[in-house]
Amino acid sequence: MSESFQSLEFCLDIVRRRRLLIFFVGVCLFALATAVAILWPPTYRSTATILIIEQEVPSDFVRSTITSYADQQIERIKAQVMSRSRLYPIIEEHNLYEDLREHDTSAAALEEFIDDIRIEVMSADVVDRRTGRPTQATIAFTLSYEGSAPYITQKIANELTTLFLNENLKNREQQVQQATAFLKQESEKLANSLQQFEKKIAEFKNKANGALPELFQMNMQLLSQVERELIEKNQQAQVQEERILYLEGELARRKSELQIKPDGSLSLREQLKALRHQYASLASHLSQEHPDIIKLKGEIEALEGIVGKPSDSRELSEELKNEELKLSKLLEKYGDDHPDVIRARSTIVLLKEQTTDTTSSGSDSEDDNLYDPTYVTLMTQLATAKTTFAHLSASKKRLEKRVSEYAARVELTPEIEPTYQALVRERDNAAKKFQEYRSRLLEAQVAEGLELERKGERFSLVDPPSLPEEPIRPNRKAIIFLGLVLALAGGVGSAVLAESLDDSIRSVDRLRAIAKIPTLGVIPYLSTREEQRARIRARSLFGVGALVLTAVSLVMIHVFWLPLDVIWYTALRKLRIG
Amino acid sequence: MERIQQALERVKQPQVQQGEVVTASSSLRDTVPDPIRYSGTKTRPSNLEDLVARRVLTSDQHSPFVDAYKILRTQVLHRLKEHRWNVIGVTSPGAQEGKTIVAVNLAISLALEPNHTALLIDANLRNPQIHQLFDVDNYGLADYLLDQVSVSELLIHPEIDRLVVMPAGGPVKNSVETLTLAKMTTLVQELKHRYTSRIVVFDLPPVLDTADVIGIAPRLDALILVVEEGKTTEKRIREALASVRETVPVLGVVMNKAGRLSGGVSS
């Protein structure tokens, strides 16, 4: 307790000792601070608040093609706006930073200008709808400009705001238009390639000639159907064949029935035939005048008179052929003059004559049977059966051809399938992609409409730059307060400094410690009456002097600088007291 | 004119003074000195108000200033008695630290105590001041040492009981040589032994700026070092003490002008 008291006493002592120093340093610092506070040129700030409005149509319905976040956009626009080409005209138009432009480069002025523009983003804590996590969303930003004159400051802030908003609109329009154009181009490209694929597939189908995998099932069905038909036809043909055979058999039987009379003798025709054979064989080795020959001739003529001339040219030609064959064989063995050869030759000549005779006579050997109704019926049936058979075999041939055709198709199908499938797949892919782009393009067109109609996310000026009434800097009160603190601190500091530099003895304790000999006494300072009087005089003089000085300086300020009342109200206003 | 007349008078009556001193010394065997035995010495009426204005004690009435000197006196007496000393010098490390006032007031304070008489000698031959304080002519020690003037002629009784003052005279340039004259030794010896209850107080020049104190110190019993609060630096105090340590004991230090900044005290 006593120590702290002592130290307090000590401090007070120091203050008392150094009061003049403290006073002067303090007053000087305070005066300086006050001067700074009053003389510091004011800086005004005009601020525009721009709200970022979300798109009005819910994004579930129309999704904008602009996906960057608001603050990204702000940054981008900032970069675009803060360019020399945009800002320098403003500087020139409003004649800003005249000093800098005169004494420094225009770049310095520009830099200063950019420095005076401030963009601050306001964000709010929100919960992301998709992820459910709390995030920060930019909901608005302020654009402010700081200048030395309120009107100019507001004007510049206004211009900057306009620049900013226009830039944003332009940006967004450009962006959506670019997106739409790109999508359009892409979908056109895709349509083209899709067409190409379609063409290719058509060609392929043409070439494949029905062997397409998609027709495989049908081909199979057709194949089996045709096969079935073929089998059917075969059966029918067989039946017809059998019938023909049967009918022919019947016919033959009937014929022979007609030739062999019921008594068992040969028919006249057969007799004639047999006589002719006999004649032929006799004529080969007997002369014509032989009685047998003449007899035979007479018999044949008689018979021919009944039956008619031998009409069976077929038989004659067969005989002719046989004779010719015999002749060639004989010629191999004998010479031309051999009697067998001569005989054969004359037979052939005879036969040839007979042949020409029969063809010229043209009589039908069957004529005899035409008069038999059974035979005729059989003949008719046979003819029908034959016709049917011919039809059947024709259709069989047709069916066989078709079967082979279908079989070929079915066989070919697996071979061409991969190529075809690949083609189809490519086409499908292209089609899908095309569809996708198509729908995207539509969306983008809607989004473009959204932007052009100003219904998308946009910057809305909620608070246009106002005319700043109060400067933001300097905070004169704060400066004065700081000056006060500084004055106190400086005073105390200077006192401490003086004290630390001053080595003079202050206390009896210290004296005792240094001298190491007893302190005999402490004589207080006796101030004489003279001194007291002098002090009082000095004080009153000082007071009067200060008053006079103040009065004189006030009068001088009033006369030479500004009327005092004006200063007073200015000071009050600057300090925001009035 | 008046001063010259007084001086002439002094020159004319050396014997009378000498005789007076001797008689006085014979009567000093008593414990209580006779208050009017300085009748032979020149008596200088003092203007009390002037003395007060010069910070010279005029009474033993209660006041912080007077009390401080009483304490100092007691301390000094106590130590002197202990060593049977009676010649002390008052000095300080530097000039203007109040050693003359302390010397004068200590002498007065000593004189105010009935058991003692005090002789105050201004030995500051460079810058004598005591004659100014008492408003007397500046004839004194230098005249005795250099001009063969007798001591009795130089002593003055300033109408304060039991106090005799000897001004410095001068000023002289070679003060060190003057102070170290053999005559000085004789004088001090004589003064020291003449009256048992007399205490001789020398007002000395500063220790550090001159060699005077070193020169005269061996002749003194002890020194008192006056320091001024807020002015004398610690370094100079140490130096002053160190410079006289070998030659004379230092009785103690006195802190002077304490509380000056807070206005001090009024009488």
Judge residue A10's burial from the number of C-beta atoms within 10 Å of its C-beta, 0-12 exposed, 13-18 middle, 19 or more buried. middle
Judging contacts by C-beta atoms under 8 Å, the chain B residues touching residue A528 are 52-55, 267
Determine the pLDDT at residue B18. 39
B263 inside 8 A of chain A by CB: yes
Which of A503, A505, A527 lies at the smallest CB-CB distance from B227? A505
pLDDT band per the 50, 70, 90 thresholds, residue A311: low
Average pLDDT, chain B: 81
pLDDT band per the 50, 70, 90 thresholds, residue A545: very high
Q: Is the pLDDT of residue B266 over 80?
A: no
Q: Three-state SS for B120?
A: strand
B241 inside 8 A of chain A by CB: yes
Sign of CA dihedral A486, A488, A489, A493: positive
Tens-digit pLDDT profile for residues A198-210: 998 898 888 887 7
Distance of CA B28 to the CA centre of its chain: 20
Q: Which of A263-272, A354-363, A369-378 is the most confident on average? A: A369-378
The yes/no answer to whether this complex scores an ipTM above 0.95 is no
**Whole-angstrom distance, CA of residue A383 vs CA of residue A135:** 102
Q: Which residues contact B254 (CB under 8 A, 6 or more apart)?
A: A519, A520, A521, A522, A523, B72, B102, B224, B225, B226, B227
Task: Give yes or no for a contact between B265 and A526, defined as CB atoms under 8 angstroms apart.
Answer: yes
pTM comes to 0.51
Chain A residue with CA closest to B79: the answer is A520
Beta bridge partners of A117: A145
Residue A510 to residue B234, Cβ atoms within 8 A? yes
pLDDT band per the 50, 70, 90 thresholds, residue A345: confident
Q: Is the pLDDT of residue A229 over 80?
A: yes
Strand B198-203 relative to strand B87-91: parallel, antiparallel, unpaired?
parallel
Determine the pLDDT at residue A368. 55
Residue A517 to residue B250, Cβ atoms within 8 A? yes
Identify residue A282 by its one-letter amino acid code: L
pLDDT band per the 50, 70, 90 thresholds, residue A577: low
Q: Is the pLDDT of residue A362 over 60?
A: no
Mean pLDDT of A463-467: 88
Average pLDDT, chain A: 82
Task: Give yes or no for a contact between A368 and A379, defined as CB atoms under 8 angstroms apart.
Answer: no
Instruction: Report cis status (omega within 30 of 0) of the bond before B171.
Output: yes
Which of A523, A527, A530 lies at the smallest CB-CB distance from B255? A523
Tens-digit pLDDT profile for residues B12-64: 544 444 334 433 333 333 344 444 445 557 777 777 778 888 888 877 778 88
* CB-based burial, A273-311: b 16+ in 10 Å, e otherwise: bebbeebbebbbeeeeeeeebeebbeebeebbeebbebb
- Choose, out of A519, A526, A531, A533, the residue to mutate when testing the contact with B (most B CBs < 10 Å): A526
Residue B169: left if φ>0, alpha if ψ -120 to 50, beta else—which one?
left
Residue B98 to residue A506, Cβ atoms within 8 A? no
Judging contacts by C-beta atoms under 8 Å, the chain B residues touching residue A10 are none
Residue B102 to residue A523, Cβ atoms within 8 A? yes
pLDDT band per the 50, 70, 90 thresholds, residue B223: very high
A511 inside 8 A of chain B by CB: yes
User: What percent of chain B clears pLDDT 70, i.e. is strictly above it?
Assistant: 85
Name which of A148-152, B20-24, B208-212 the model is least confident about: B20-24
**Whole-angstrom distance, CA of residue A475 vs CA of residue A170:** 40
Name the DSSP letter for residue B138. Answer: -
Determine the pLDDT at residue B93. 92
**Whole-angstrom distance, CA of residue B254 vs CA of residue B239:** 16
B48 inside 8 A of chain A by CB: no
**Whole-angstrom distance, CA of residue A551 vs CA of residue A209:** 122
Q: Which two tokens stand for residue B206?
A: 């500063």
Going by C-alpha positions, the residue among B129, B198, B206 that lies closest to residue B168 is: B129
Q: Three-state SS for B228?
A: strand
Name which of A209-213, A529-533, B24-28, B227-231 the model is least confident about: B24-28
Residue with the larger pLDDT of the pair A227 and A290: A227
Judging contacts by C-beta atoms under 8 Å, the chain A residues touching residue B250 are 517
pLDDT band per the 50, 70, 90 thresholds, residue A254: confident
Which of B228, B230, B238 lies at the smallest CB-CB distance from A514? B238
Q: Which residues contact A171 (CB under 8 A, 6 or more apart)?
A: A73, A76, A77, A80
Judge residue B82's burial from the number of C-beta atoms within 10 Å of its C-beta, 0-12 exposed, 13-18 middle, 19 or more buried. exposed
Residue with the larger pLDDT of the pair A51 and A476: A51
User: In 10 A of CB A546, how many CB atoms?
Assistant: 10
Name which of A97-101, A359-363, B260-264 the model is least confident about: A359-363
pLDDT band per the 50, 70, 90 thresholds, residue B3: low
A506 inside 8 A of chain B by CB: yes
Which of B75, B237, B258 lies at the smallest CB-CB distance from A524? B258
- Choose, out of B62, B97, B109, B234, the residue to mutate when testing the contact with A (most A CBs < 10 Å): B234
Q: Is the pLDDT of residue A261 over 70?
A: no
Chain B residue with CA closest to A524: the answer is B258
Tens-digit pLDDT profile for residues B59-118: 777 888 889 999 999 999 999 999 989 899 999 998 888 899 999 999 999 998 888 899
Mean pLDDT of A548-556: 90
User: What percent of chain A clears pLDDT 90, i.e. is strictly above it?
Assistant: 7
Q: Is the pLDDT of residue A396 over 70?
A: yes
Mean pLDDT of A237-262: 80
For residue B117, the distance in angstroms to the closest alpha carbon of chain A comes to: 20
Mean pLDDT of A17-29: 86
Judging contacts by C-beta atoms under 8 Å, the chain A residues touching residue B225 are 515
Determine the pLDDT at residue A370. 59
**How many Cα atoms are found within 13 Å in the side-chain-facing hemisphere of A243?**
18
Judging contacts by C-beta atoms under 8 Å, the chain B residues touching residue A519 are 252-255
Determine the pLDDT at residue B254. 92
CB < 8 Å from B in window 526-555 of A: 526-530, 532
For residue B160, the distance in angstroms to the closest alpha carbon of chain A comes to: 20
Residue A526 to residue B251, Cβ atoms within 8 A? no
* CB-based burial, A420-449: b 16+ in 10 Å, e otherwise: beebeebbeebbebbeebeebbebbbbbbe
